[in-house]
Amino acid sequence: MNIAVIGSGTMGNGIAHVFAQNSFQVSLIDISQDSLNRALATIGKNLDRMVTKGTLTEDQKTQTLSRITTFTDMQAGVQNADLVVEAATENVDLKLEIFRNLDAFTKPECILASNTSSISITKIASVTQRPDKVIGMHFMNPVPVMKLVEVIRGYSTSDAVTTQILELSKQLGKIPAEANDYPGFVANRILMPMINEAIYSLFEGVAGVEEIDTIMKLGMAHPMGPLQLADFIGLDVCLSILRVLHDGFGNPKYAPCPLLVNMVQAGHKGVKSGQGFYSYTHGTKDLVVADTFKK
């Protein structure tokens, strides 16, 4: 089975890594060769870490990298694909354009999957001539480590395609969980309101950044506090998902906190920008609360 992955960012390179490590031939596609080179370097570093830990041999690392071919031309990259996994930016117009092209460029029997964390699979499928073969494969970050794949069935997704993707996820060593296509699916419908409420708690002066995260880590056994997790996901991504929930349900409980909106507008997007609720520019792995939120 030939796999094509669209987008070589954090999620895309992780998805390519996992497929290649499990003996699939992978075409990794991006508009930028520099981005593709960075993706291969990241995959190499992650594989090196596994070799150091003894979970992978040097030969297995070499074989994994040899299974990944990069393309800047989408049509060339997907023409032999049996499954395409789109992992581009969480932007509905961009995804619709990608799927229109995929529908034209791929074999009629090719399955088209999206790694979207919130955008409607049914809407994405509607711009193709194969809505029965369009499905959501929502991997978790970091992809090589996290076991869950949220498999989202669109309104027209066939039973056969759903079963195939569930089985394929298991072949990757993942644990698939099926969800129907409603805003935010399951993972983000539950997670994002929690993150948003944590931001509201900070915004309204209920507690500070460290206190909110400590209470959720120690009191609820979360491995990472909600504000640190928001930084890790990307505050712009959190805002985008909350807007999908708010628009999709029309319920004010999903309205993004004004503090989150302001932070994103100011360019403070979390780890990716170097600053969010915490600062990431001090050169250590220690958590340092951003100056804005220091008491």
185: which 2 tokens?
A: 């699916």
Residue 175, SS3 per DSSP: strand
89-113 tens-digit pLDDT: 889 999 999 999 999 999 999 999 9
Report the candidate in 48, 57, 46 with the shortest Cα–Cα distance to residue 16.
46
150 is catalytic: yes
pLDDT band at residue 128, thresholds of 50, 70 and 90? very high
Name residue, tokens 């500070």. 208
184-238: pLDDT as tens digits: 999 999 999 999 999 999 999 999 999 999 999 999 999 999 999 999 999 999 9
Amino acid letter, residue 60: Q
Of all residues in the chain, the percent with pLDDT exceeding 70 is: 100
Please give the mean pLDDT across all residues of the chain. Answer: 96
271: CB partners within 8 A, 6+ apart: 231, 232, 234, 280
Annotated binding site: 7-12, 30, 90, 95, 117, 141, 272
Q: Which residues 6+ apart lie within 8 Å of 203 measured at CB?
A: 257, 258, 259
Catalytic residue among 114, 117, 240, 273: 117
CA separation for the pair 179, 191 (Å, rounded): 15
Active site residue 117: yes
**Catalytic residue status for 197:** no
Count CB atoms within 10 A of the CB of residue 66: 10
Which positions make up the binding site for NAD(+)? 7-12, 30, 90, 95, 117, 141, 272
Structural domains of the chain, ranges and CATH numbers in brackets: 2-180 (3.40.50.720), 188-293 (1.10.1040.10)
DSSP 39-67: HHHHHHHHHHHHHHHTSS-HHHHHHHHHT
Annotated active-site residue 188? The verdict is: yes
The answer to whether residues 276 and 268 touch, using CB atoms and an 8 Å cutoff, is: yes
Q: Which of 27, 188, 240, 273 is catalytic?
A: 188
Which of 65, 63, 105 minimizes the C-alpha distance to 84? 105
| pLDDT digits 0-9 by tens, 236-246 | 999 999 999 99
Q: Which of 27, 46, 150, 246 is catalytic?
A: 150
d(CA 198, CA 5): 34
- E runs forming strands in the chain: 2-6, 25-29, 68-71, 83-86, 111-114, 134-139, 148-153, 175-180, 278-279, 288-289
Q: Does this model's pTM top 0.85?
A: yes
What crossing angle do the helices spanning 226-233 and 209-220 adopt, rounded to 10°?
110
Whether omega for the bond prior to residue 183 falls within 30 degrees of 0, making it cis, is no
DSSP structure class, residue 216: H
Q: Which residue is catalytic, options 17, 138, 246, 268?
A: 138
Burial (0-12, 13-18, 19+ Cβ within 10 Å), 247: exposed
